[in-house]
Structure 1
Amino acid sequence: MNDEELLRYSRQIMLPEIDIEGQERLRAATALVIGLGGLGSPVAMYLGAAGVGRLLLVDFDHVDTSNLQRQIAHAEADIGRPKVESARDRVRALNPLVAIETIAEALDDEALAAAVARADVVLDCTDNLTTRLAINAACVAAGKPLVTGAAIRMEGQAMVVDPRVPEAPCYRCLYRSAEEPAESCTQSGVLAPVVGIIGSLQAVEAIKVLTGAGEPLTGRLLLMDARTMEFHEVRVPKYAGCPVCGTQSG
């Protein structure tokens, strides 16, 4: 690690849980960020600023005026641009030492599996259950840790799925019916800072997974209610009949 890196990451290196060894782990790591909207914006920016060595940024969408209320990786001048491009430029402005690859398309099963295989940690920042379950299945199949988050109205949640831990549940253990909720952010709205809080939590969890610092939210669903600013934790049991990670059928 050179002098520039030591200075840039000095406040992080000072943490005994991180130290130089943890910072070097971050520099050697690849994080796959799927979705560059309200959650993915702070995720990409904080992981880049923190010194994760390579970011794979995935989003098929373009920046729209309605995004600017909460998707802080994009600006007025980016309207009409692919989100992967504006997010890439924002992260590079924060930290030019980070290598960034962009994928401006929706990933089918094969492409998703290939992208997951390249990553040390996957961050699901998408906005629908069908996609989240597909990402979860790909991560379980590849044995890659997944940090998932979601937000709507004034509520949010985050959880870590780590297939490397035999007794840990996957995301499908939580949503057994696999039925898409009737409400979405587009229909019900979302308070701008809520996605920022949840995305920041995802970035923290990814850094913990990559460095070994602290105790990740593995098998623990963290729920936030911004109305009262209360956080609750729910232990998620591994479901033996889970079609993705279960040990028995039915």
Structure 2
Amino acid sequence: MLNPNLDTIELTKDDYERYSRHLILPEVGVDGQKKLKAASVLCIGSGGLGSPLLLYLAAAGIGRIGLVDFDIVDFSNLQRQIIHGTSWVGKPKIQSAKNRILEINPFCQVDLYETQINSENALDIIAPYDIIVDGTDNFPTRYLTNDACVLLNKPNVYGSIFRFEGQATVFNYEGGPNYRDLYPEPPPPGMVPSCAEGGVLGVLPGIIGTIQATETIKIILGAKNTLSGRLLLYNALDMKFRELKLRPNPERPVIEKLIDYEQFCGIPQAKAAEAAQQAAMEEITVTELKAIIDGDADDYVLIDVRNPHEYDIAQIPGSTLIPLPDIEQGDGVEQVRALLADGKKLIAHCKMGGRSAKALGILQEAGISGINVKGGIKAWSEEVDPSVPLY
């Protein structure tokens, strides 16, 4: 209801006190605060982007907030997901988020959808809300959210983050572009690392999520200069903002229905290929690796294919660091070949087993066979040596 009947909306005495700094802004005023109170916003995700977004939307006086999430709070979330606290670790994120929202604004209606949004439920979940905010971190859900917003004619406030860089824009608003104008096709699976693999500066989602909150509030107020048609790029290391123009592509396919977005993004195919590769690859468990190490065997080489800064956090005794990027570029292949010159067998590990399997696949093509450590150093910490930090 982006154009509500303001005569039917009343501000209470508490509202006048709570939102006094809004009310004295000519661009907001009483009518603007009534619009915020009448508005409904759906946030998909309550992680790094959703945390600041939800806090500021609640504080701004949004009358109804919907939240979609099916994850639980983890210790590793707390570095950037500021809506959650230590006491909520192991509990549902949406319950944690609702608790914090109501602490900020007990008059906000909070709707919870503790489910994974998909092609079967997306239209029903999204339909009741005025504005949709994309706080997700994967391509299938981004395409799904975009297409559902196009079909239902809902503004889609978009943000994404990785390491030190973030971007934000507004899709599908007043004839502006949508997500498929920015990314007509998804990248191959695995080409873009997740934050769990590549890391993210803790304050970065705070900046991008706050920008998303700002754009959401501006749309509700009817402000003209939104990010629709403009992609805002932010680099935290350089402390620089850049802006790119976005335009609708007249040749883009017409969105007529929701599809299988996992299939569209190649996820099942990639998982099948990975499963086939692992089935053909010899593996050992971390307990079997420990037995080899404890037996003082000298007929093997254990390589760690993680990045150097990960190696600084934790190591398995006797491992040699040869990062996966070095193996992909070829130099690492020759390093491995040199280590095996005396006929030793190769064992490889990473954080959880995926990157080491990829490294062994590359090495196999170069004529070097090896054994993968199932579960990587994470399993080592959980099953063998709890003093090894989890990260």
> TM-score by structure 2 length?
0.61
Matched, 1:131 2:147: no
Please say if residues 162 and 200 of structure 2, whose CA atoms lie closer than 8 Å, have aligned partners that are also in contact.
yes
Matched, 1:25 2:43: no
Matched, 1:217 2:227: yes
Aligned residues between the structures: 244
Structure 2 portions without partners, runs of 5+: 1-10, 257-391
Structure 1 residues 93-128: Cα deviation after superposition (integer angstroms, max 9, x where no partner): 011010101111101213111121111000000001
Please say if residues 40 and 62 of structure 2, whose CA atoms lie closer than 8 Å, have aligned partners that are also in contact.
yes
User: Match of 1:53?
Assistant: 63
Change (3 A) 1:54 1:230: same
> For residue 211 of structure 1, what is the amino acid of its counterpart?
L
Please say if residues 117 and 141 of structure 2, whose CA atoms lie closer than 8 Å, have aligned partners that are also in contact.
no
User: Match of 1:99?
Assistant: 109
> For residue 127 of structure 1, what is the amino acid of its counterpart?
D
User: Match of 1:158?
Assistant: 168
Structure 1 residues 189-225: Cα deviation after superposition (integer angstroms, max 9, x where no partner): 0001100000000000000011113511001100000
Residues of 1 paired with 2:185 and 2:112: CA distance?
Answer: 33
Larger Rg: 2
User: Match of 1:171?
Assistant: 179
> Tell me, what secondary structure is at the counterpart of 2:62?
coil
**Farther-moved stretch of structure 1 (168-177 vs 108-117):** 108-117
Residue identity (%) = 44
Q: CA RMSD in A?
A: 1.3
**Residue 243 of structure 1, CA deviation:** 2.2
> Tell me, what secondary structure is at the counterpart of 2:154?
coil
> For residue 231 of structure 1, what is the amino acid of its counterpart?
F
Matched, 1:38 2:42: no
Structure 1 residues 53-72: Cα deviation after superposition (integer angstroms, max 9, x where no partner): 00001101000110000000
User: Match of 1:148?
Assistant: 158
Please say if residues 170 and 245 of structure 1, whose CA atoms lie closer than 8 Å, have aligned partners that are also in contact.
no
Please say if residues 172 and 178 of structure 1, whose CA atoms lie closer than 8 Å, have aligned partners that are also in contact.
no
Structure 1 portions without partners, runs of 5+: none
Residues of 2 paired with 1:83 and 1:208: CA distance?
Answer: 27
> Tell me, what secondary structure is at the counterpart of 1:101?
strand
Please say if residues 118 and 141 of structure 2, whose CA atoms lie closer than 8 Å, have aligned partners that are also in contact.
no
User: Match of 1:226?
Assistant: 236
> For residue 7 of structure 1, what is the amino acid of its counterpart?
E
Structure 1 residues 5-49: Cα deviation after superposition (integer angstroms, max 9, x where no partner): 011001012111111111101101110000000000111110001
> Tell me, what secondary structure is at the counterpart of 1:57?
strand
**Residue 152 of structure 1, CA deviation:** 0.7
Residues of 2 paired with 1:142 and 1:76: CA distance?
Answer: 38
Please say if residues 38 and 72 of structure 1, whose CA atoms lie closer than 8 Å, have aligned partners that are also in contact.
yes
Matched, 1:7 2:17: yes
Matched, 1:191 2:201: yes
